[in-house]
Structure 1
Amino acid sequence: MHTREEQMKAFGRLLDVLDQLREKCPWDKKQTNESLRPNTIEETFELCDAIMKDDTKEIKKELGDVLMHTCFYAMIAREKEQFDIADVLNAETDKLIFRHPHVYHPSQVGAEEPKPLPFVPENAADNDEFSKADTSDQVLKNWEQIKLKEKDGNKTVLSGVPSSLPSLIKAYRIQDKARNVGFDWQKKEDVWEKVHEELKELEDELVREDKEASTNELGDFLFSVINAARLYHLNPDNALERTNAKFIRRFNYIEQHSIRAGRPLTEMTLEEMDKLWNEAKQNERLNID
């Protein structure tokens, strides 16, 4: 692994190249925050794909692309004399220090070399409310309360959930933030009564063929299932992505068989496709074993 000096040198090299491209490359010259945004979203999803596949080579590559975009936005802001990459890094560092009072005292915000506890800051007695956090759950609970106290922090508990998040992830984050201030089931097992209740209400509306009401109840049912996943420490987005990948593998197996047989999928019976689906499942089990 590289030394800290080598890491900083590599970061500086990236900034130097971006500066040169901004000056000399026609494409880089014309980029704006708005024009970069779709690419940033794509790069972020590509990183997420690599993480789900546990592909170390691709993770490294996509991290580089995401980092490049971060630096590019900061470069555009520097040109407008708004801020630069140093401001971005310092603001993030200060935020981390302030939100981890069990590691750093908030008085260390802005310090060039912040000192981890134990040390005795001048105003220690005034800032010990969140200084104890022995578990990760306590850290998260403190985190939400601290953010509400920040000068430029969240005004309400749920205001920190981006409106543009995909709905499944947004639901999980909403529930998680509510949990961190004590709004949650006392026993995780109790959530299943709610799941069954919401499923029954969905079934009732489907029988009535009321599309609007059915849509609302479907949302309530999905929200309750996500809640159950959270309570059992399962990530529903990761779980669904695994199922998506599994479905694609098995369906591709059916399609490849149809191609080899010279028969379009549309000419195959459901029974034939089910048989191939089960073959794909069996092959997966054999590979796992």
Structure 2
Amino acid sequence: MGWIAAISMALLLAGSAPAGSAPAGASLPGAGTPRAEMVVDTAWVAARLDAPDLVILQIGDAAAYDAGHIPGARLLNLADISAPPTGSDPLFLEMPEAEALRAKLEALGVSDTSTVIVYPTRDIQSATRAVFVLDTAGLGPRTRLLEGGLPAWKAEGRPLSTRPRAVVPGRLSPIVFRPIVVDADYVKRHVRAPGYVVVDARAPEFYSGEKAGGPPGKPHRAGHIAGARSVPFSSVTTPDLMLAPEAEIAARFEAAGVKPGDRIIAYCHVGQQASATLFAARSVGLDVLLYDGSFEEWSRLGGEVEAGK
């Protein structure tokens, strides 16, 4: 089983990191496995709803937020933390300018000392995209994904609020982006380079070319970046908005040809689904990069494409 066996043994020895018992503050769970430093559960959040340094972000639209959210949560739409579309044929969900992102996060109450909990309402990839943006901005060590999101919170009968929270603006240091976002030229140079694996996070039918993505009237080219391997985001997450078990995630990446020490470059349609695949990769200790322009940009630029499984 190679490195999968090694990961499984490490997880067995480390165990799950304890969520902690003191509800007074928002101190994060102690280190155990990579996954333990990336996620929290509903019980951890419920015990700390009144923590002054806790910022909870619901990812989605106003209708879902108004219908009921975790008490104290603030609403965040992905458009709020993306570069505004420009020109007649813009790319979507691109990384924003640092100062624009800083202003938005401060308006949500995020400060240098904040613990930020991000949770999805319908799909995990919207929340992992927000987590990726925060991680790129240097806030990753104090950001966690609430596994199961709002559906898990509701299923457990936990309280909901329909009132928006009064937010005290936060104070953030100037943002310096971490170099974990790459462009098309970088992908071209590294797609077959030793130590790198380009991963397609889209559904298999898009990877194979059976279907073409893109908006109506302007479809993407059929197929995938030549040399890329397929690790659909849905194969490393679960329908109930959680990560798959670590051993399953590791097996998926090993089957795609990922070896210990390799760096993964992931893409999807526009950079959202890939964030879930990268989040899963990080949870088993893999090094990751995002091709943010993804297949939408690659298709426009005429990059090399191949079809088939």
The TM-score with structure 1 as length reference comes to 0.22
Structure having the higher helix fraction is 1
- Structure whose CA Rg is larger: 1
Structure having the higher strand fraction is 2
